[in-house]
Amino acid sequence: MDKLIITAALTGNITLPTQTPHLPLTPQQIIDDAVRAAEAGAASVHIHGRDPNTARPTTEPAVYREIATGIKARSNVIVCVTTGGTADMTPAQRAQVVPALKPELATFNTGSINFSIHPIADRYKDEEFKFPWEKEFASGTRDFIFRNTFGDIEKLCQIMEENNTKPEFEVYDVGHLYNLSFLIRRKIVKTPVWLQFVTGILGGIGSALEDIMYLRQTADRLIGAENYKWSVIGAGYPAEFNVGTLSIMMGGHARVGMEDNIFIAKGVLAKSNAELVEKIVRIARELGREIATPDEARAILGLKGKDKVNY
Ligand code: KMH
Ligand code: ZN
């Protein structure tokens, strides 16, 4: 088995500041958390930017540049930028960070789905929200279609290729593997591919053992076991650690972090992203799986290297 690539997803764009006081929000907090997560064992950090004044998710390239530059100055960790954006952003706006930063890795969402966090809005009274935008932001996702049409995907493929950025393909359901296999057959996407199976999102596949097995078997059948590396993102607790453990046992890789889950144990908030990384490292060690350094992860994934980014 390859050494384990741990990704830390530090802040995301669906976790609300109201949900946890430990969510890094400002560029400096995100940089500090990235460095600590890397010291704990993360080979890659997945970053989203937030407006420094309002904490609202943003695709403003200057914010991403500040975060990526700050991380690069202090750590060898791989920086994977999001192209996910939020409900009010067009696919073109979501992609603009790729030509701006030419990162080693960027997320690539492989199909359109309902993507909703509206039940979270119902958990809080109006006066409990920390920021004025949060309630509407969360409840508005009831009608949100996360748009990733074939047209959007083709454009993003071109942008990624032009900037020599490797896509981290986010697969939220089995149909997304069929989308990817179509793109591979049409030679729009080249193998080997790097997949993240995202489970437990309201609108996508669940986090049951059978779901993971089925994603894996379908990827083997459609893409070929030798043509991809895979990781898992189990949204929520305990899914983050349950599907992570399963992936560690099966030879896949694992993502943890407050974008996906805010708990370190049942009802106990994680105090930092590093704490979540430390837990998955402990699980991996118990199961005899070694942890990949950033350079080992670069070799496993075939990345261009951090001397070829534009920040
Ligand atoms: N914005 C969410 C709907 C990614 O980072 O690429 C999904 C998302 C995933 O942001
Ligand atoms: Zn993300």
For 226-270, write each residue's pLDDT tens digit: 999 999 999 999 999 999 999 999 999 999 999 999 999 999 999
Q: Calculate the dihedral angle through the C-alpha atoms of 149, 154, 159, 164, rounding to the nearest 10 degrees.
A: 120
Integer CA distances (angstroms), 293 to 44, 197, 229, in order: 9, 22, 16
Residue 154, CA distances (Å) to 59, 108, 159 in order? 20, 11, 9
196 Cβ inside 6 Å of ligand 1: no
d(CA 59, CA 91): 11
Q: CA-to-CA distance for 159 and 228, rounded, in angstroms?
A: 21
* Backbone dihedral angles phi then psi of residue 259, each to the nearest 5 degrees: -65, -35
Ligand 1 proximity of 19 Cβ (cutoff 6 Å): no
Q: How much distance in Å is there from the Cα of 224 to the middle of ligand 1?
A: 26
Ligand 1 atom showing the smallest separation from residue 107 Cα: 6
The gap between the terminal CA atoms of the chain, to the nearest Å, is 33
Q: Is the CB of 13 under 6 A from ligand 1?
A: yes
- Least distant ligand from the CA of 8: 2
Please report where in the chains the tokens 């999001």 appear, as a residue: 82
Give, as residue ranges, everything with CB less than 5 Å from ion ligand 2. Answer: 82, 84
User: Distance from the CA of 204 to the center of ligand 1, in angstroms?
Assistant: 13
Please list, in sequence order, all residues whose beta carbon lies within 8 angstroms of the beta carbon of residue 48, skipping any fewer than 6 positions away. Answer: 10, 11, 12, 13, 57, 82, 84, 259
Largest CA distance in the chain: 52
Amino acid in position 235: A
Distance in angstroms (rounded) separating the CA atoms of residues 304 and 296: 13
Q: Which two tokens stand for residue 216?
A: 């894996």
Which neighbouring-strand residues pair with 6?
A: 254
Element (H, E) at 79: strand 78-81
pLDDT digits (tens), the chain, 311 positions: 999 999 999 999 999 999 999 999 999 999 999 999 999 999 999 999 999 999 999 989 999 999 999 999 999 999 999 999 888 888 889 999 999 999 999 999 999 999 999 999 999 999 999 999 999 999 999 999 999 999 999 999 999 999 999 999 999 999 999 999 999 999 999 999 999 999 999 999 999 999 999 999 999 999 999 999 999 999 999 999 999 999 999 999 999 999 999 999 999 999 999 999 999 999 999 999 999 999 999 999 999 999 999 99
pLDDT at 85: 87
Contact 111, 136 (CB under 8 A): no
Closest CA to 81 of 62, 57, 101: 101
Beta bridge partners of 168: 107, 194
Stretch (H or E) spanning 210: helix 209-222
Determine which residue's CA is closest to atom 2 belonging to ligand 1.
84
For 180-228, how does the pLDDT look when each residue is reduced to its tens digit (9 = 90+)?
A: 999 999 999 999 999 999 999 999 999 999 999 999 999 999 999 999 9
Tokens (6 digits) for 31: 């940089």
Cβ neighbours around 245 below 10 Å, total: 19
- Cα–Cα distance measured from residue 202 to residue 305, given in angstroms and rounded to the nearest whole number: 35
- CA–CA separation, 87 and 145 (whole Å): 8
- Alpha carbon 188 to its chain's center: 22
